[in-house]
Structure 1
Amino acid sequence: MTTAAADSAAEEPGAGGSPAAPAPASPQHPPVATGAGSPTATASTETGGPTPTGGPAPAGGPPSADGPTTTGGPTEARGSTGTSKPTAAGGATAADRSTAAGGSTAAGGEERPRRARGEQTRQLILETALRLFRERGYTETTMRAIAKEAGVAVGNAYYYFDSKEHLIQGFYDRNQAAHRAAAQPVLAREQDFAARLRGALHAGIDVNEPYHSFAATLFKTAAEPSSPLSPFSRESSPAREAAIAIFRDVIDGSSAKIDPELRKELPELLWLGWMGVVLFWVYDRSPGQRRTRRLIDGIVPLIDRLVGLSRLRVLRPALRQVLALIDTIRHD
């Protein structure tokens, strides 16, 4: 190795700019001092020939068969052929990749509490909005007032809910989840269709009871056909489908023998009936909405009987006409 080659190797400092540690001197090539007086790193050669890699070894001495050196030079990783290959300065070692993988896991662990905190904030905003709707009315309550009462920034409130309408949609979604949970004990216990339907309807009233004072105000907005808060609107479709699914469970878990064509349409028909019960409940001023409870107890046996009669051959033509009319209105 010539003095020029040694000088060239001396100009390649280790990562971070620190000078490389000197390598043992070869009998044929003693160390050459640099202009700054610091030793250069020279590679050991066999009988003065080229290094095994065909060129000068990385600063800090020959590559170790065990992997990276510890002199601060470029880190080396073992290649697929078994030879050591220097990585780019600052590149990731296998240990770095392992650490990164662990960091990813840690990041995932941090993400779960963050999502939980976000859900808590979302529920706080929703609960605050519903309380203000009850106390001040839907129209009079602003997003700014909701944010102030909840103790969050206005921008934070808009991050979770784009508008007051989205707050009501959030209420719809939560209400349907609560309705399903409240109806579950009856659906798990009963197989009789009437008992299952009666239990599901009463469970819905139980869930809605805390919001009775607010319901009339909300209904004024939801009753507008073009309102996104209408239970028939496109925006309300997730909550609507969740409600229909509850009545589908009422049917599927029952022992009732139902005409196959009616079975397909019955969940939505029961939901439409439920909408009528809710409307009656909104304007029910009797103590504890007692009249609504009596209405449920009175109509369930009638529905049960009609469902049973649907299998009679003599009534099938009339049933087909009713179902065809419903289908025509739905798709018109």
Structure 2
Amino acid sequence: MQQKKSEATRERLVATALRLFREQGYDKTTMRAIAAEAGVSTGNAYYYFSSKDDLVQALYHSLQDEHRARSLPLLRDGQNLGEHLRAILQSGIDVMGPYHDFGFNFIGVAIQPSSNLGPFSDDSSVARAKSIALFNQAVNTARPQPPLAIRADLPELLWLVYMGVTLFWVYDRSPGQRRTRRLIDNAAPLIAKLVILSRLPVVRKIVDDVVQLIKNTKQ
């Protein structure tokens, strides 16, 4: 009973924070205001979340879990990589849909050098690993299998594609983000074809260069 009450309080704080972020902006919203709007004491709010950043991280983790839960049943043995990639990217847009109005605010905060909210930050490592693992499942169950030479690096490359699509989605003001969905439908099979073509020496060299570039940025 107590656990359910705690979970309900956490969810209420996150939902309240998102509303205030949209209405007042991230910088102008305080933990005190979030607590007051959620009907809990400031001390209680800090018990659950140490900061506003903590609240956004909680949302990020929640979205990753929901994205994984929606996507996994769509990844079937025998489907090609393009079908898997399309399913994952479209599911991601579905999950993020209710938060589109907040997306621009989140990006504005996340790209700041001092922010721990960015998808590449240490604080986002668990959520990032979950997302990459989802793409790993897509790669492992796809048929035909991607070339062995790039198979280990491919999930992270596909996750980077997902980050690019997410950024496009944030700035997409078309109704229901139609442009983003059209981008996914067109890009997913193209990416799958490029993966298969990476068996060719000239394409393989380009892929190797991209992988090496990514590895160098981690050093």
Whole-angstrom distance in 2 between the partners of 1:155 and 1:212: 30
- Shift in Å, 1:320: 3.5
User: How many residues were matched structurally?
Assistant: 219
The normalised TM-score by structure 1 is 0.62
Task: State the identity %.
Answer: 52
Say yes or no: does 1:244 pair with 2:129.
Answer: no
Give the letter for the 1:144 counterpart. Answer: R
Match of 2:68 in 1: 180
Query: In 2, distance between residues paired with 1:321 and 1:217?
Result: 34
1:212 and 2:64 aligned? no
Quote the offset at 1:160 in angstroms: 0.4
Match in the other structure for 2:181: 293
Distance between the aligned counterparts of 2:71 and 2:111, measured in 1?
26
1:200 counterpart letter in structure 2: I
Structure having the larger proportion of residues in helix: 2
Distance in structure 2 (CA, Å) of the matches to 1:320 and 1:205: 29
Match of 1:126 in 2: 14
Letter in 2 for 1:287: P
* Structure 2 Cα separation of the partners of residues 297 and 290 of structure 1: 11
Contact 2:136 2:155 in 1 (8 A): yes
- List runs of 5+ in structure 2 lacking aligned partners: none
Do structure 1's residue 155 and structure 2's residue 50 form an aligned pair?
no
Equivalent residue number for residue 25 of structure 2:
137
Q: Which residue of 2 aligns with 1:276?
A: 164
Give the counterpart letter for 1:169 in structure 2.
Q
1:209: Cα distance to partner? 0.9
* 2:122 matches 1:259: no
Moved over 6 A (4+): none
Gaps of 5+ in 1: 1-112
Deviations 1:246-273 (A, max 9, x none): 1111111211322223111111111111
Question: CA separation in 2, counterparts of 1:315 and 1:289?
Answer: 32
What is the CA–CA distance in structure 1 between the aligned matches of 2:5 and 2:25, rounded to whole Å? 29
SS of residue in 2 equivalent to 1:236: helix
**Cα RMSD for the two superposed structures:** 1.8
Task: Compute the displacement of 1:302 (Å).
Answer: 1.4
**Alignment partner of 1:200 out of 88, 111, 129:** 88
Counterparts of residues 1-332 of structure 1 (less than 5 Å):
113-188=1-76, 191-312=79-200, 315-331=203-219
